[in-house]
Structure 1
Amino acid sequence: MDASDIRILSAGTALPGPAVDNATLARRFNMEPLWEQWIDVFIGTATRHLAVDLATGDIRSSLAELGELAARRALDGAGLQPSDVDVIVLGTATPDNLMPATVNLVADRLGVNHLPTYQLQSGCAGAVQALDVARQMLLGDRHSTALVIAGDVCAKHFDLTTDLKSLPPAELVNVVLFGDGAGAAVLTNEDVPGSTAIRHVINELCGLGRSPGQILEWYGLADRNSASSPVKEDYKAIEESVPTMAAEILESLLKATGWARADVDYIMPPQLSGKMTERIMAGLDLPHAAEVSCVAETGNTGNALPFLQLERVLSKMADGDRAVCVAVESSKWIKGGFALEHL
């Protein structure tokens, strides 16, 4: 079986709670009106969905809950039941617990048992890595249908008592940049008419000897009162590197598929923020490709984002259409992406 015979049947997504706009955030944290303008000008995110209720501090959704909902929507789109799935792969940077693995909690919620499950711990490229693992497994004879899930719930790391006015911009941006969500896709190695073929996948670590662009800490009993921030990001390194890496990923996908730039009908660019996406798109040089982005409405949902984009693009693609997804993992610098063709 050729790798390009693996098909995507459907995608589904799930976002927690109502959309939270910048004005609501500003009011919740007693920030000045200029703060709201700063988000619009420098971040470009208008709304996001959070798994925490800002009014009460209660967690309203776990990753397992969002993953189950996204998975059921993807399975419904494929006309399948959970019992039809042969293998489940989940990618996330923010599992609900260190143990048990969130993928197994999702499987339990779906009511499935006696099948292999895999969980990948990764940042924004985790969705692509999970897709790649599932794709590789379907190339053999053991499995025919895979459920791929990816998502993140960052809101559980929020400290709602923090005085945001005291935070430096490098930490303040994390409060407005991220949102929560999950996505899922159903893959098969069967020849299903009207499905979308995965023509190529890129999953390449390229961070040898390079400092991480993002660090997300797990705090245990011994250090839970640490004054150190649980989230650290080198935004200058990210801003400098991601547009270049995105262009390199696109070139690699085009070379692997033999496609010209004019052959690409849809582009799903990295979704760090609305403003970063604008910079990235300017460097990709795909004048005929329709951009499929959602970060301005959803915030940066980490591993959910490629599937949020995928759900949108699958609804648009017609016979012969081609789409490219580009994802960059800045925690230790991974190039991710995939090329699709609707048959």
Structure 2
Amino acid sequence: MEASEIHILSVGTALPGDPLDNADLARHFGMDPVWEQWVDAFVGTRARHLSVDLGTGKLRSTLADLATRAAARALEGAGVGAGDIDLVVLGTATPDQLMPATVNVVADRLGIDGVPTYQLQSGCAGAFQALDVGRQMLRTGGHRTALVIGGELCSRHYDPGVDLARLDSAELVNFVLFGDGAGAAVLTAEQVTGAPVIHRVLNRLTGLNREPGQIVEWTGALDRADADRSHIKEDYKAIEESVPVMSREIAEEILGGLGWTAADVDYLLPPQLSGRMTRRIVDGLDMPLADEITRVDTIANTGNAMPFFQLEDTLPQLAQGDRVLGISVESSKWIKAGFALEVQ
């Protein structure tokens, strides 16, 4: 029998190491104070957590490490064990290896076995895609409980020895935008009083005949043989132009489909590219009655981990009747993503 409602029971997150602020980055890369002030003023991201040790260039934690920690916290918060999980889904743009899939490494560490597992290769939309897969499987696949994970190890694409002064803006901006992290949520088809219901998950490719806004080559900067090859590029101007417009379109589609208005939204989880961009997006969405849940200024853009950090802050605040709107835009090939939650 098809389940009518899917609830979020709990959320857990994990960050590596201590935060690195802009002054820390400036000192390591030998940049002058003007660069630090530029990051503060025009990017608006003050700190990030990195798995790479900038001093040695070695990774101190893997995506599997972070995802396992986040998932264990989510399981504990939900009061369920490994044997209660019927499927596992991971969304990431930065898996540890081609094989084995990181999702299966995480499942093994948690003691989960004998269930379907899925790993989705995607940028910022991957967490929403993972939520959608988990939700649909619970609704139609005869399963009761799903573990959904999102995470990134962006710092494996850093070259700690690079001369930032020699990089063009399309490469330089990535050193200040991104951080590492992981998040996880436990979903259930059981009826749980007080747990928010997932009403809608949007996932739509809209990049036909459009150039990518971001390109990340497969191998990490630390193990790349061709040192002259540009490993990661960001068309920040295209992103600045497109993301606010696409965010409004996502909000209008989700709200219109549910019969909600902007005034009905109690909590807004906006895209988290940078502090400055998030401010522009929120202003354009014009939801003055909604509480904005933002983490990008203190942990940077953690990609597929970020929606879980936002949900972790939101869930404890929810009361009966509260409504939540989450929005994300993946600029790699222009994907619209979003979800709507309600405490019924």
Give the aligned residue type for 2:168: P
CA drift at 1:234 = 1.0
Alignment-derived partner of residue 59 in structure 1: 59
Compute the RMSD of aligned alpha carbons: 1.6
CA deviation digits over 1:3-38, x for unaligned, max 9? 760110011100000010011110111110111101
Which position in structure 1 is the counterpart of 2:21?
21
Conserved 8 A contact 1:4-1:199: no
Distance 1:112 1:11 in 2: 18
Q: Relative to 1, partners in 2 of residues 1:38 and 1:10: Cα closer, same or farther, differing over 3 Å?
A: same
SS of match in other structure, 2:233: strand
Partner of 1:151, secondary structure, is strand
Structure 1 unaligned spans of 5+: none
- Equivalent residue for 2:321? 320
Confirm or deny that 1:171 pairs with 2:182: no
Deviation at 1:73, TM superposition (A): 0.7
Unaligned runs of 5+ in 2: none
Q: For the Cα contact (< 8 Å) 1:45–1:274, is it kept in 2?
A: yes
Q: Is the 8 A contact 2:11 2:312 kept in 1?
A: yes
Matched, 1:304 2:305: yes
TM-score (norm 2): 0.97
Aligned positions of 1:133-148 closer than 5 A: 133-148=133-148
State how far apart, in whole Å, the 1-side matches of 2:308 and 2:207 are.
25
- 1:141 shift after superposition: 4.7
Q: Once the 2 structures are TM-superposed, how far is the Cα of residue 169 of structure 1 from its aligned partner?
A: 2.1
- Report the Cα offset of residue 224 of structure 1: 2.4
Aligned to 1:106: 106
What does residue 333 of structure 2 align with? Answer: 332
Moved more, 71-80 or 223-232: 223-232
CA distance in 1, matches of 2:193, 2:224: 55
Cα pair 2:2 2:140 within 8 Å, conserved: no
Q: Specify the alignment match of 1:289 in structure 2.
A: 290
- Normalised TM-score (structure 1): 0.97
User: Counterparts of 1:15-164 in structure 2 under 5 Å?
Assistant: 15-164=15-164
Between 133-142 and 5-14, the greater mean CA deviation after superposition: 133-142
**Is the contact made by 2:3 and 2:189 (CA closer than 8 Å) also made in structure 1?**
no
**8 A Cα contact 2:4 2:139, kept in partner:** no
Q: Percent identity?
A: 62
Query: Distance in 2 between the 1:152 and 1:237 partners?
Result: 23
The aligned residue for residue 211 of structure 1 is 211
Query: C-alpha distance in 2, partners of 1:285/1:141?
Result: 38
After the TM superposition, which segments of 4 or more aligned residues of structure 1 sit over 3 Å from their partners? 1-4
Q: Alpha carbons of 1:97 and 1:205: their partners in 2 closer, same or farther (altered >3 Å)? A: same
- Structure 2 equivalent of residue 241 of structure 1: 242
Equivalent-residue separation in structure 2 for 1:301 and 1:141 (angstroms): 31
